Amino acid sequence: MEANYTQEARLYRELVRCEMFRHTVFQGEQRPGFLLPQPVWVESLLAALACHDDTGEVDKHRNTALEAITDTGGQWNGGAFDWASDSDSRLGPVLELVTGGVYIWLPFSQIRSLESPQPTRLTDLLWKPVNITLVNGDTHGAWLFTRYSGSESASDALRLCRETAWQDGPGETTVRALGQKVWLTSHGDISLLDMAHCTFHAQENDGA
């Protein structure tokens, strides 16, 4: 039993460390890791983060990314969608996760399927376990972020993932989200807390 507690403590130290690193990525100070070679448009999203409040440069880089992104359809919990994107425009169609002690950005176009249990613990309001199959067939046990970066300083409702709030700016292309993580899709919104199963109609060469 003591070994189990030690292993769990090590896991949560790792998740907290990745949460702190995640914050530096959104500040444009660090880069996330990747599981596969990332599409070119991911570099444009990261370049927009590095521009901070230079609205002209932020919009230029993010618009470059938006023009290059192709829609990836799929199904979640029984409903179909033609496209999906994080409701925080700084991410677009990118999944944030932790695997192997590394904070990862994973484009939806590189995902074949996600399997995640319903939340049962308070820690699921921060990080939720998930099994991921990539388009190349590789599988990974990982942790999803179910709350947006910066929510720890927000209201109780946002900190506890009871709701989501959005803030515009800087520039015309930036929408920052706080609280419960939500994807926008052609079929409606997806809460990552509620998502149990999701498949994407992605091909292996789509992620290049």
pLDDT tier, 206 (very low <50, low <70, confident <90, very high otherwise) = low
Question: Mean pLDDT, the chain, as a whole number?
Answer: 93
Phi, psi of 142 (to 5 degrees): -150, -175
Determine the average pLDDT of the residues in 91-117.
97
- At residue 106, the pLDDT reads 98
- At residue 3, the pLDDT reads 61
Domain boundaries, the chain: 2-207
- At residue 205, the pLDDT reads 60
pLDDT of residue 203 exceeding 80, the answer is no
CA distance 5 to 13: 12
Q: Which two tokens stand for residue 17?
A: 């460390």
What SS3 state is found at 55? helix
CA distance 146 to 128: 7
What SS3 state is found at 93? coil
Residues 132-152: tens digit of each pLDDT: 999 999 999 999 999 999 999
Q: Give 117: exposed, middle or buried? Use CB within 10 Å, 0-12, 13-18, 19+.
A: exposed
Residues 56-97: tens digit of each pLDDT: 999 999 999 999 999 999 999 878 999 999 999 999 999 999
- At residue 169, the pLDDT reads 84
pLDDT tier, 163 (very low <50, low <70, confident <90, very high otherwise) = very high
Residues 7-22: tens digit of each pLDDT: 888 989 999 999 999 9
Residues recorded for the chain: 208
Residues 178-200: tens digit of each pLDDT: 999 999 999 899 999 999 999 99
pLDDT of residue 171 exceeding 80, the answer is yes
How many angstroms separate the Cα of 117 from the Cα of each of 24, 192, 194?
Answer: 29, 11, 9
Task: Kindly report the number of other CB atoms within 10 A of residue 195's CB atom.
Answer: 20
Strand arrangement of the beta sheet that strand 79-81 belongs to:
79-81, 74-76, 197-200, 111-115, 127-134, 139-145, 94-99, 102-107
- Residue whose pair of structure tokens reads 């039993």 in the numeric block: 1
CA distance 67 to 75: 24
- Residue whose pair of structure tokens reads 């189990």 in the numeric block: 4
